Structure 1
Amino acid sequence: MSVLFRRALLCLLWLWLPASWAADSGWLRAPDNQHASVRLRTGAPQGENRVNLLLDIKLEKGWKTYWRSPGEGGVAPSIRWNSDGINARWQWPTPHRFDVAGITTQGYKGDVTLPIELQGRLPGRLSGVLTLSTCSNVCILTDYPFQLDLASPTGPQFAHDYARALGQVPPDQGLTRTLSAGYRSGELVVTATRDGGWHQPELFLDNPDDASFGEPDYRVEGSRLTATVPVSDSWGDEAPDLRGQHLSLVLADGDMAQQSQLTVGEAGQTASGSGVGLWQGILAALVGGFILNLMPCVLPVLGMKLGSVLQVQGQSQRQVRCQFIASAAGIVVSFLALALMMTLLRLGNQALGWGVQFQNPWFIGGMALVMALFSASLFGLFELRLSSGATTRLATWGGNGTAGHFWQGVFATLLATPCTAPFLGTALALALAAPLPVLWGIFLALGIGMSLPWLLIAVWPTLALRLPRPGRWMNVLRTVLGLMMLGSALWLLSLLALHIGRGAAFGLGITLLVLLLAAIARRYGWRTAGISASIAVLLVGGVLFGASLTSEKRPLRDEVNWQPLSEQAIRQALADNKRVFVDVTADWCVTCKANKYNVLLRDETQKALKAPDVVALRGDWSRPSAEITAFLNRRGSVAVPFNQVYGPGLPQGKILPALLSREDVLNALSESKGKQP
């Protein structure tokens, strides 16, 4: 025991002898952490108040440490000096991103060397404590006391190692031609252009004091890269406004990287809008608004138009022009009202989206009531009458119920919002992420585009005046339009099932039909009511029978094993070398229904989606969902349907058109396989 005691005392004294001080700490290990080794080395002093320091870190396989901004977890390396007046300027090589259990961190694995420049009142002998966080399945925070003698000689190897370590630190130029950052509600959008294009882009961000960044979503279009980063506060709640703040980042592509300092501005456009200028966006809005008139979900709108045309017989061209201008004005004013709503939502940092009002049960119920009243009016069960004074004012202002034509345009717009037409998604994505004046301009263009058929008749009123003369055919047409309105009311009631339950929604539908038949019986007699009920039953039966004849050999059934949609599910599937088909839908989206029955339920598509290497993910936006809203926004979309395909051949994903075709789906799934070995 005495021998061991003397040896231990000798070692303790040796640590305090001047000879034990050197410019190299040697490799340090801690008893409670055998997975990491560290070493600190200094070079020759650069004058009285400056010296270079190297921190070498060796990590065992499966272990990591952290960058200057660790991300959503972890602690960056730090040194607590035993002397005052020392300023340390750390230099950081390009890190890597690690994703574990949905948590994104930034750091290093294996061996890494951090160059550090020390300035200030430097003592002849440096000492301090290095604190290093290392993680695998568990995390260990370890302290390493050290001491260094600045007067000890250093060889040429240190200068070589320091220069090599500096070579791993990203410069402040050389990668990008242009680089900018913008902020919108809950998201940071970084855009960069590179003449050589992008292959494996990676973005690493320093977290501000009051904000936390999630994993970026990348979209590459030629030489342009758009990285969309979810933002929250330090506790995961609502994100602070980053506009005007300074942002430090590292952008890498393969072996090249660049670190930059930016001032965050307003996000000008989304990922899907990348490369889409203002005038292209306005043109897309005009075309998309016009196509809304042709979408299947706008059949009630067509009914309103035809109903208004029935009233123009025997009127002058001036009266016809006023009526159709009023309808067009109703459409345009409605789109401007939607722009106002989107503006208020953005200023309140709320979710933006096309057709989101159909997630509100009160709005759905109100629209169902309005459609039922339209239907009853077209069946001749009642008429909306105004006071004599109001009637006179309306007559002198535009003739024959101009206000009614205005409100027809308003309701036409409201019923068109569950639809996503071609070109419409591009225009909306640009509008909802652009500055507010651009948003208003694009919504104005959408209104003008949808009102073009009305404006056409306003310019050439003789188109409306050339209809056949009034006769019994008008009563038949009114009945057909009434049935269209009634079908719209019943469809809207079916959407309430998500909010009030299927039984309650079914009960409301039966009550509506009973009240309607009772009103028909009171107005036209029970015989007419019975005939109407029989016709309704025959129509429903005919539709179902026709659907069965037009379907394939067997009933259409969804046999795909759909999984819940999440970013983690996409990453996991790609890590497993699988393909991913994403489907974001909603019960109130008629275009989604068309895609489902015309494409997704067909045999060939079902077979492709059930392939062993395909993971099918579905998100339901029928009700408000912050997760799905954020998912869509990260991809530059504000509407459903939304479909995207990932795979080894499409690691960044490919967004499909709003109106699907079997060729679109099958070709994208085939492309996502990539090159097979």
Structure 2
Amino acid sequence: MRILYKNILFFAFVMAASFSCFAKSIEEESIRIELVSEVKSIQPGQPFWVAVVFKPDPGWHFYWYNPGTAGLPTRIHFKLPSGFSHDLVQWPTPKIFELNGLVNYGYEGETLLMAEITPPEDLTPGEFVTLKANIDWVACQDVCLPGAGTVSLKLPVSIEPPQWDNHWKTEFDRTRLLWPQMLDTWDVQAFLDGGFIDFIIRPLDDSHPNLSDLYYFDDWIMINPNAPQELTKHDTYYQLRVAHCAIEDQLQGVIYNANGWTKEGIPTGLYVVVPLQKEDSALLNTLQSLTAPPNPKAPFPFSITTAIAFAFIGGLILNLMPCVFPILSIKALGFIHQSNNSPAKAKLHGLVFGLGVLMSFWALSGLLIALRAAGEQIGWGFQLQSPLFVSILATLMILIGLNLAGIFSFGTSFMGIGSRLSFSGYRGSFFSGVLATVVATPCTAPFMGTALGYALSKSAPISLSVFTFLGMGMALPYIILSFSPKLIRKLPKPGAWMESFKQAMSFPMFATALWLMWIFGSQTNINSLAILSFGLLTIALATWIYGRWCALDRLLVVRKRGLFFSVLLGILALYMIYSASEDYSNGEHLPQPSRELNYGIEWTPYSQEMVQELRKQGHYVFVDFTAAWCITCQANKKAIFSSDRVMEEFNRLNVVAVKADWTRRDPLITRTLESFGRNSIPFTLIYSPDLKKDPIILPTILTPQIVLDALEDLSARKD
């Protein structure tokens, strides 16, 4: 009888365990959620695994703990009996979902979110324990439905080893393969680079798979999900560039690779916890240790005397470049007003203008040398890589244009920098020299690029010497004219016609401002450009109010009101102009790829590895180091690619055009330029398919014939 009683009791226990007793699930219109166990019973003190199982309907998904741009994170809060504890929930590597143009992270299909539970030692065999979990979720398809509820599971306690639930055991094992893992076969480092974070990913053994279609899922919402992530393959490492929207001292998340991180293809998610290195030189120093320079030959086979001569000639030619054209109108007016002055005053004006040019070149070179000594990878025109500087320069051009157009004036002043800064005053001449230098930086004249590269590779005294002669070359034509009374007397006499001429000269200033706004838009995005545009419009309104109601013939009360509103609007305008650039600098408005003109050419982004790979495939490679703010670069491309002969030759020789875009700061492009002894653009190379041959370096100013001759030369070498 006792044996029969034991058999009945054992049968009842097995039946109870086989059904895992009573389980409460959630049934919604778009999703079903339940709590399940890997085992049918539990032992006192022995850990076991449970999972919250999400079963969204076809076409529906729910979210990861970082949901991405929209949605809400899925949250699981276990409510366990006294003495029970649980580890962290284990999340499979998520997928990417796009909803209404927004990138989100989550899961579709049956998904198990697992956690290990540890029961206490003092459980009584034969009793039942109830495990609960409170769930918050959002399920989305074309619409999103939030939900909250509780799931529960009742399990028996047994002193016997637990039996596996065969169905769920298989699902638990399959899910474990989807977990991201930390692997010691890969080295991952992270570097801050402006609005981006660069992951340098390096294999530590030879049995690694190729990486493709990498994507970084961040744990802490530091990364902008909507920004594209760019993977570049190098000889010994991979570089994954992501755009950030916040900065912390550490990065923690999952890097997904569709092919997996081992030869077996698992896991597909590499879990990384790495410090974010924020020093400006950290990324460059690391890359230099991983790759060799692209051209290690000595780049300067000439002396300082040659460099100074090149700088002086380049400064002279710089006066003929389109960058300086807006300032020519100002100097023309200045010389006309000086035609009635004594020869001594005219000479002094020319010398003061030259001093403004020289001091500006000294300041620019000093800043350039200091920043490079601090580890910055920058070159000639570096200030135009800053959206804030570009916006300030555009504001200055608008103000000068409005002043020339007669919208406002400070007393009898011309430039609007105080009542004593007039075009006939010495301060006006000095300011004209400063402005000429500032607006000349987007251009590089012939001979000038080589001289600048030499200067920035030498000591500070030699660099300053080269920059001094560059400034002297630029200022010399104006000084010669001011020292030539006969030439000045041939200029038209001042008269009423000058007011019309002065107003006409405002349009080159407005054109320069539009060009600077285009550069700003290329560096940032359409939202920042719109803010800058409204800021410039507001500052124009402020100057109009000032010019209209602050004139000396107005009543004092009217002038006070006009001054109040013009100052108020001016402050608002400056805030808008600053915030447009500041948002970009802080990563709130992240930069889009440069919208530099392509002139009908399909460009390939630059990397030294890409150039070598194209050459291995038998291509000629045309490499253009360029920037949206470089006027000479744009003129070169327009001249070359509007030529039918050049396009025919490109097609015949199967030439691939590669763009090294320097619109924004790029340490790798700066380093490549330095390896060729250059620190300015435009700079153009043409490679032949023969890997043993050095590239041909083209002149600063290009014509179709120059490019055709270079291609013919390379083709002859190949033959």
* TM-score tier after normalising by the smaller chain length: 0.5 to 0.7
What is the CA–CA distance in structure 2 between the aligned matches of 1:304 and 1:636, rounded to whole Å? 35
CA contact (8 A) 2:408 2:544 kept: no
**Counterpart of 2:654?**
613
Conserved 8 A contact 1:599-1:660: yes
Q: Structure 2 matches for 1:406-445, cutoff 5 A?
A: 406-445=430-469
Indicate conservation of the 8 Å contact 1:104/1:215, yes or no.
no
User: What CA distance in whole angstroms lies between the structure 2 residues aligned with 1:358 and 1:370?
Assistant: 14
Shift of 1:312: 1.5
Q: Distance in 1 between matches of 2:483 and 2:708?
A: 45
Q: Which residue number in structure 1 is paired with residue 257 of structure 2?
A: none
Q: Give yes or no for contact 2:314–2:470 (8 Å, CA) kept in 1.
A: yes
Give 1:666 deviation, angstroms: 1.5
Instruction: Tell whether 2:292 aligns with 1:215.
Output: yes
**Distance change (3 Å), C-alpha of 1:473 and 1:581:** same
1:501 and 2:501 aligned: no
Aligned to 1:352: 378
The AA in structure 2 aligned to 1:332 is L
1:324–1:454 Cα contact (<8 Å) kept: yes
Find out whether 1:298 has 2:375 as its counterpart. no
Q: CA deviation at 1:578?
A: 2.0
Q: Give me the whole-angstrom Cα distance separating, in 1, the residues matched to 2:333 and 2:449.
A: 30
Q: CA deviation at 1:508?
A: 4.3
How far 1:362 moved relative to its partner? 1.1
Which structure 2 residues correspond to residues 627-642 of structure 1 after superposition, within 5 A?
Answer: 627-642=668-683
1:520–1:598 distance in 2 versus 1, CA, 3 Å: farther
1:275 aligns with 2:315: no
Moved more, 476-485 or 461-470: 461-470
Matched residue SS, 1:275:
coil
Partner of 2:627: 586
Query: Is contact 1:647-1:653 (8 Å) kept?
Result: yes
What are the superposed Cα offsets for residues 93-139 of structure 1, whole Å, 9 maximum, x if unpaired? xxxxxxx963369xxxxxxxxxxxxxxxxxxxxxxxxxxxxxxx99x
Distance 1:635 1:74, change over 3 A: farther
Aligned counterparts, 1:43-58, within 5 A: none
Residue pair 2:625, 2:681 contacting (<8 A) in 1 also = yes
The yes-or-no answer on 1:284 pairing with 2:310 is yes
CA RMSD, 1 decimal: 3.9
- CA 1:425–1:301 in 2, change beyond 3 Å: closer, same or farther? same
Structure 2 matches for 1:393-404, cutoff 5 A? 400-404=424-428
Matches within 5 A, 1:260-271: 271=299
The percent identity for this pair of structures is 32
Question: What's the CA shift string for 1:331-381, capped at 9, x where partnerless?
Answer: 000011112112211220211301010011111111111111111111122
Question: What corresponds to 2:513 in structure 1?
Answer: 489
Residue number in structure 2 paired with 1:361? 387
Q: What SS does structure 1 have at the residue aligned with 2:715?
A: coil
8 Å contact 1:281–1:442 — kept in the other structure? yes
Which residue in 1 is equivalent to 2:640?
Answer: 599
- Residues of 2 paired with 1:626 and 1:382: CA distance? 43
d(CA) in 1 for partners of 2:312, 2:605: 35
Say whether the 8 Å CA contact 1:579–1:613 is kept in structure 2.
yes
Q: Distance in 1 between matches of 2:418 and 2:630?
A: 41
- Counterparts in 2 of 1:373 and 1:441: CA distance versus 1, 3 Å: same
For residues 69-84 of structure 1, the aligned pairs below 5 Å read: none
8 Å Cα contact 2:454/2:678 also seen in 1: no
**Residue of structure 2 equivalent to 1:102:** 234
Q: 1:331 aligns with which of 357, 381, 406?
A: 357
Superposition misfits of 4+ residues, deviation over 6 angstroms? 72-75, 185-188, 208-211, 391-395, 517-525
Deviations 1:221-272 (A, max 9, x none): xxxx53xxxxxxxxxxxxxxxxxxxxxxxxxxxxxxxxxxxxxxxxxxxx1x
User: How many angstroms apart in 1 are the aligned matches of 2:385 and 2:418?
Assistant: 40
Q: Give the Cα separation in 1 of the matches to 2:236 and 2:411.
A: 63
Q: Secondary structure at the match of 2:686?
A: strand
Kept in 2, the 8 Å contact 1:490–1:509? The answer is: no
Q: Deviations over 1:491-548 (max 9, x none)?
A: 11221113442355256447746875897799799xxxxxxxxxxxxxxxxxxxxxxx
2:620–2:653 Cα contact (<8 Å) kept: no
Report the equivalent of 1:622.
Answer: 663
SS of equivalent to 1:451: helix
Corresponding residue of 2:491 = 467
* TM-aligned CA distance change 1:210 to 1:563, over 3 Å: closer
In structure 1, what residue type is equivalent to 2:291? G
The whole-number CA distance in structure 2 between the counterparts of 1:557 and 1:437 is: 40
- 1:584 counterpart SS class: strand
| Alpha-carbon distance between aligned partners in 1 of 2:447 and 2:698, rounded to the nearest angstrom | 12
Q: Which amino acid aligns with 2:326?
A: P
Task: Provide the TM-score with structure 1 as the length reference.
Answer: 0.54
Distance in 2 between the 1:591 and 1:676 partners? 31
Q: Does the 8 Å CA contact 1:580/1:616 hold for their aligned counterparts? A: yes
How far apart, CA to CA, are the structure 1 residues paired with 2:340 and 2:610? 64
462, 470, 480: which one pairs with 1:456? Answer: 480
Equivalent residues of 1:560, 1:606 under 8 A apart = no
1:217 to 1:404, Cα distance in 2 relative to 1, 3 A: same
How much has 1:655 moved relative to structure 2? 1.0
Q: What TM-score comes out, normalization by structure 2 length?
A: 0.51
Once the two structures are TM-superposed, the CA of residue 385 in structure 1 deviates from its matched residue by 4.5
Give 1:402's aligned amino acid: Y
Instruction: Provide structure 1 residue ranges, at least 5 long, that are not aligned to the other structure.
Output: 1-71, 76-99, 106-136, 139-184, 189-207, 220-224, 227-270, 526-555
Q: CA deviation at 1:74?
A: 8.3
What is the SS of the residue equivalent to 1:672?
helix
Alignment-mate amino acid for residue 568 of structure 1:
E
Note the C-alpha offset of 1:613.
3.0
